[in-house]
Amino acid sequence: MLASCSAVKLGYNQLPEIAYWWIDSYIDTADTQAQRLRRELDELFQWHRSVELPQYVLMLQKMQKLAPGPVSPAQACAEFDAVRERFNAFTARAESPVLWLASSLSPAQIDHLAAKYAKTDKEWEADWLRGPPTEQFKRRLKRSVERSEMLYGTLDEAQIQLLRTELAASSYEPQMLWTERLRRQDDILQTLRRVNAGKLPPETVRESLNALLTRLVTSPVPAGRAYSETTVRESCALFSRLHNSTTPAQRARAVQTLKNYEEDFRALSAGR
């Protein structure tokens, strides 16, 4: 939702095609899968356009009402929960095509997925584990400033210092992110290999894949789950502190930005 407004309207109608090629890059889609995959994606995004985009409009209207005044960490987390609820609705609707596609993968496609993971892992590791901590922090700060300025416009030095201080004191731990990343990937690969071995009844396959989807959203590892919960709380508090430091002009900019998103989603929902 914090992509640029023009990119929202420009890119939304291309999402089924973008999603197809993204999936293809991970599994090397077979000719026998391609037609159905495209159809499933078209239907998924048609549903999203008609059902979910109106919900986005409502969320954005609520955010516009909050933006002119102070925002507490609890209010920020409530909005985060609302966004997460919409994400959960999308994943629930995507369950059927995900189950079909996962069950249709060949051993070669699963190997292709493993190789793709290995490639992206090298890139992630180089960016977030192997570089000097100072460079990693600069990258985190730069990303945080850029995302904030998409909403509020240019931040002043005191606000950038606020972000710098908050990020430095946060519970951010790249090694934990790395561990969870590898856990998810291994879980996906093991589950796919198990359900595609041809020895499980259809209902067991369905249960296994549904359980996998649950584990991808919520870590089954207590330390991973606790880390996720902690970082969400800290992010809510950080957003609250930054928002409450903004000027009337910056808050007016935020309201207008949110209004622009609302208008984009409203138009897209209407098929424009």
pLDDT at 131: 78
- Look up tokens 């919520």; give the residue: 218
Mind listing the pLDDT tens digit of every residue in the chain (272 residues)?
Answer: 444 445 677 788 889 999 999 999 999 999 999 999 999 999 999 999 999 999 999 999 999 999 999 999 999 999 999 999 999 999 999 988 999 999 999 999 999 999 999 999 999 999 889 878 899 999 999 999 999 999 999 999 999 999 999 999 999 999 999 999 999 999 999 999 999 987 788 888 889 999 998 999 899 999 999 999 999 999 999 999 999 999 999 999 999 999 999 999 999 998 76
CA 90 from centroid of its chain's CA atoms: 12
Predicted TM-score (pTM) of the model is 0.88
Q: If residue 70 lies in a helix (H) or strand (E), which one and from where to where?
A: none
Q: Is 246 exposed, middle or buried (0-12, 13-18, 19+ CB in 10 A)?
A: buried
What pLDDT, on the 0 to 100 scale, is given for residue 6?
Answer: 54
Tokens of 58: 């409502």
Number of domains in the chain: 1
| Predicted pLDDT of residue 2 | 43
Query: What distance separates the 2 farthest-apart alpha carbons in the chain?
Result: 63
Segments forming the whole domain that contains residue 99 = 5-269
- Structure tokens of 65? 């009402």
Residue 241 to residue 72: CA distance in whole angstroms = 8
